[in-house]
Amino acid sequence: MPLHRVSLSKAWIIALICLPIFLGSLDVTVVSAVLPHVLYDLEIPLQSELDTAAWVVSGYLLAYSVAMTFMGALSDRLGRRKVYLLALAIFALGSYLVAIADGWPTRIALQIAFRLGGSRPDPALASLWMLVTARMVQAFGGGAMVPVGMAIAGDLYAPSALARPLGVIAAIDTIGWVIGHLYGGILTRFYDWRMIFWINLPLCALAFIVIFFSLNAPELSKLRRGALRGMDWIGAGLISIALLALNIGLSRETNQGDQLSLSAQGYLPKFAIVYLALAVLFLVLFVFRERRATHPLIPLTLFRRVNFSPALLANFLIGVSLFIAIANVPLFINTLVAETLQQGAWDSGWMLSALTVPMALAAFPSGWLTVRLGYRLPAAFGLGLAGIGLLLMSHWGLATPYKQMVPQLALTGIGFGLTMAPIAAAAINASPAPQRGSASGLVIIFRLVGMTVGVSALTTYGLQRVAHLTVMLPVTSVDLTTAAQNGMLIIARVIGETFLIAAIVCLVAILPSLLLKPGKVVESLEGVE
């Protein structure tokens, strides 16, 4: 319903709410290029704590996805303005906590440990866990702003004109994580890594003040009587637990202190099976709950509509494959190519741009191609290109120069970019008009969950393979130089293998994309992603 008492123009309001959404999505990938630098600064041993460190990335993706599932519904009840500002404040608080994670929060956590159990945690690990916790707080706020922002657009625009503002919000969200690594790499080149998070604070404060005074239409501030009672808290809890269990199940924990060999633990530790089973159980319970809930968080009827499920499945697999590339390019450069951490962050940022900038640029012709050719062909063609690009990347070695990497990254990026519009449009066009907001949100959530699964599974696989290959080496003396050279060769090989896995996942994603049936393509949805 159009609002007449909003003091700003609709377009200005959309622009205003997009700024914090952009900051939140920047931070999805901002640490991927600078994570080695952060870990060095916190004195975190990579080979025994990489799986914990991966939570700095996967924890953000997880909390971001969880917040997206229910914060939009919460804003239906508490009012958009209030929930949006709350989410913004949580994001700013999380940014502050990340910036000072190894300062007073770690000292307080250690004091609590000393007083409670008499235990003495390793200060470096305590600071890493504080960093992960702060990142999750930050992500919860960042993720919540996306569905609430979309809901604000839904309040401001009539259904017939809603597609474009939703597309803008989704595009801003995507652009954020597409350039996040470059932004992180550039800032870290000139400043301490904490600056990435300090810089959010004045921007959030400014956005908070402007939104507080501008977004004051009664329709955006209404609070329904008994609002929180109508909220599907059980559903929100079930999906959160399911996603958390999935992430823990795919992670790997070493036995700290004892440092058991990785290969001795087998490829799927017992605890992983328990957590993965829990994830399935809670997902089933969530579906069961949503089918009976008066106000479900996710309208499950959408999944019965033509094209919706294949589109989301393809998007999930794209998320898995894409994030393996996004996480591994910086790992390859930082570990095997760059001479210093600053150089690594800088080079990683720019090299990843060779993947993500063509991806963003290819999204435009992909919309045009979708309108003319339908969903199936551009999506399958794009996945094929991305698969070939990843296949070529799987042959990278210690001697591979940047000029050889760039065209392969660009090919992969163009491939992924071509899938954006057909996949998103297939899902959104499959939905009835009132549920297109939910459909847009689900498109993003499935990609994010795919990314979370990708980063967790990749870390586990990578560490296991490194351990397995190292055991194959002959026993050497304590010649650390030789050990380092062998280690680099092994890491290069394992990263190559993960690119190969990403290529296979990409090619598998062609299957659901081939199930997309030709349908009416709404031209205004071209720019949805």
Chain positions contacting another protein, by CB under 8 A: 36, 39-40, 43-49, 110-111, 114-115, 120, 122, 124, 254, 257-263, 334-335, 338-341, 344, 466-468, 470-471, 475, 477-478, 480, 483-484, 486-487, 490
- Which residue number, 257 or 401, has a Cβ lying nearer to another protein? 257
- Which residue number, 43 or 523, has a Cβ lying nearer to another protein? 43
Shortest Cβ 472–another protein spacing (Å) = 9
Shortest Cβ 481–another protein spacing (Å) = 8
Q: What is the DSSP letter of 344?
A: H
Shortest Cβ 105–another protein spacing (Å) = 15
Cα-based distances in Å from 89 to 92, 135, 263: 5, 14, 44
- Which residue number, 141 or 462, has a Cβ lying nearer to another protein? 462
Contact 5, 218 (CB under 8 A): yes
Shortest Cβ 355–another protein spacing (Å) = 23
Instruction: List the one residue out of 171, 34, 3 whose CA is nearest residue 98.
Output: 34
Contact 352, 326 (CB under 8 A): yes
Q: Which residues contact 48 (CB under 8 A, 6 or more apart)?
A: 254, 256, 259
- Which residue number, 120 or 291, has a Cβ lying nearer to another protein? 120
Shortest Cβ 489–another protein spacing (Å) = 11
Shortest Cβ 198–another protein spacing (Å) = 18
Shortest Cβ 321–another protein spacing (Å) = 27
- Which residue number, 116 or 158, has a Cβ lying nearer to another protein? 116
- Which residue number, 122 or 219, has a Cβ lying nearer to another protein? 122
- Which residue number, 48 or 301, has a Cβ lying nearer to another protein? 48
Cα-based distances in Å from 527 to 32, 198, 219, 374, 423: 27, 32, 28, 15, 12
Q: Which residues contact 463 (CB under 8 A, 6 or more apart)?
A: 47, 50, 51, 252, 262
- Which residue number, 205 or 480, has a Cβ lying nearer to another protein? 480
- Which residue number, 300 or 473, has a Cβ lying nearer to another protein? 473
CA distance 54 to 457: 10
Contact 486, 472 (CB under 8 A): no
Shortest Cβ 325–another protein spacing (Å) = 22
Shortest Cβ 128–another protein spacing (Å) = 11
Contact 375, 64 (CB under 8 A): no
How would you write 182-229 as a 3-class SS string? HHHHHHHHHCCCCHHHHCHHHHHHHHHHHHHHHCCCHHHHCCCCCHHH
Shortest Cβ 248–another protein spacing (Å) = 21
- Which residue number, 19 or 31, has a Cβ lying nearer to another protein? 31
Q: What is the DSSP letter of 335?
A: I
How would you write 381-446 as a 3-class SS string? HHHHHHHHHHHHHCCCCCCCCHHHHHHHHHHHHHHHHHHHHHHHHHHHHCCCHHHHHHHHHHHHHH
Amino acid identity of 95? S
